[in-house]
Amino acid sequence: MTAITTSVFELFKIGPGPSSSHTIGPMKAGYNFYNSVQELSLASTPDSIEIRLYGSLSATGQGHGTDRAVVAGLLGYTPETVDCSFLNSLADKSEHLFKLGKISLPLSVQDVIFAEVENDFPYSNTLLIQLKNGGNVLFEQEYYSIGGGFIKWKGQLPEIPRVPAYAYSNMEELKEILSQKEIRLHQLILENEMTITESSVAEINIKLDAIIDSMKKAVKNGLAAEGVLPGPIGLHRKAKALYENQKSANAADNFLVKLNAYGFAASEENAAGHIVVTAPTSGSAGVIPAVIYALEEDLGIDREMIRQAMLASAAIGFICKHNASIAGAEVGCQGEIGVASSMAAALITYANGFRFWRTENAAESALEHHLGITCDPVGGYVQIPCIERNAMGAVRAYNSYLIASVENRKFHKVTLDEAVTAMAQTGKDMSSKYKETSLGGLAVSVPNC
Are 115 and 226 in the same domain? no
Are 249 and 397 in the same domain? yes
Are 147 and 179 in the same domain? no
Give the whole-angstrom CA distance, residue 100 versus residue 105. Answer: 8
Among candidate residues 147, 126, 139, 145, the one with its CA nearest the CA of residue 52: 126
Are 136 and 179 in the same domain? no
Chain-centroid distance, C-alpha 139: 30
Tens-binned pLDDT, residue by residue, of the chain (449 aa): 799 999 999 999 999 999 999 999 999 999 999 999 998 888 889 999 999 999 999 998 888 899 999 999 999 999 989 998 999 899 999 999 999 988 899 999 999 999 999 999 999 899 999 999 988 999 999 999 998 899 999 999 887 888 999 999 999 999 999 999 999 999 999 999 999 999 999 999 999 999 999 999 999 999 999 999 999 999 999 999 999 998 766 877 899 999 999 999 999 999 999 999 999 999 999 999 999 999 999 999 999 999 999 999 999 999 999 999 999 989 999 999 999 999 999 999 999 999 999 999 999 999 999 999 999 999 989 999 999 999 999 999 999 999 999 999 889 999 999 999 999 999 999 999 999 899 999 999 997 65
Q: Which domain holds residue 176?
A: 171-445
248 found inside a domain? yes
343 found inside a domain? yes
CA quadruple 171, 276, 113, 117: dihedral, nearest 10: 30
71 found inside a domain? yes
Give the whole-angstrom CA distance, residue 417 versus residue 323. Answer: 9
Task: Show the DSSP H helices in 21-65 as ranges.
Answer: 25-36, 56-59, 61-64
- 339, containing H or E segment: helix 337-351
Other Cβ atoms closer than 10 A to 180: 9
Chain-centroid distance, C-alpha 348: 19
Between vectors from CA 229 to CA 72 and to CA 394, what angle results, nearest 5°? 95
294 found inside a domain? yes
Are 249 and 323 in the same domain? yes
Among candidate residues 282, 301, 304, the one with its CA nearest the CA of residue 293: 301
Per-residue pLDDT at 77:
95
Are 180 and 324 in the same domain? yes
161 found inside a domain? no
Are 143 and 184 in the same domain? no
Per-residue pLDDT at 63:
83
Give the whole-angstrom CA distance, residue 363 versus residue 317. Answer: 10
Among candidate residues 423, 311, 440, the one with its CA nearest the CA of residue 375: 440
Are 149 and 176 in the same domain? no
CATH number for the domain spanning 391: value is 1.10.4100
Cα distances (Å, whole numbers) of residue 186 to 11, 191, 205, 364: 16, 9, 12, 18
- Given 104, 122, 153, the domain boundary residue is 153
Burial class of residue 190 (count of CB atoms within 10 Å of its CB; 0-12, 13-18, 19+): buried
Cα distances (Å, whole numbers) of residue 375 to 105, 125, 197: 37, 14, 33
Give the whole-angstrom CA distance, residue 256 versus residue 398. Answer: 9
Give the whole-angstrom CA distance, residue 145 versus residue 125. Answer: 5
Per-residue pLDDT at 249:
67
Are 345 and 259 in the same domain? yes
Please check whether residue 55 is in contact with residue 126, taking contact to mean a CB–CB distance below 8 angstroms: yes
The residues, ordered by sequence, that sit 6+ positions from 261 with a Cβ below 8 Å of its Cβ are 223, 239, 240, 242, 243, 246, 391
Are 75 and 180 in the same domain? no
- Given 153, 184, 204, the domain boundary residue is 153
Are 127 and 236 in the same domain? no
Other Cβ atoms closer than 10 A to 210: 14
Give the whole-angstrom CA distance, residue 337 versus residue 317. Answer: 11
CATH number for the domain spanning 109: value is 3.30.1330.90
Give the whole-angstrom CA distance, residue 295 versus residue 278. Answer: 19
Q: What is the pTM of this model?
A: 0.92
Give the whole-angstrom CA distance, residue 342 versus residue 370. Answer: 9
Please check whether residue 108 is in contact with residue 101, taking contact to mean a CB–CB distance below 8 angstroms: no
425 found inside a domain? yes
Q: What is the number of structural domains in the chain? A: 2
Please check whether residue 44 is in contact with residue 133, taking contact to mean a CB–CB distance below 8 angstroms: yes
212 found inside a domain? yes
Are 119 and 261 in the same domain? no
State how beta strands 150-153 and 275-277 pair. Answer: unpaired
226 found inside a domain? yes
- Given 103, 127, 153, the domain boundary residue is 153
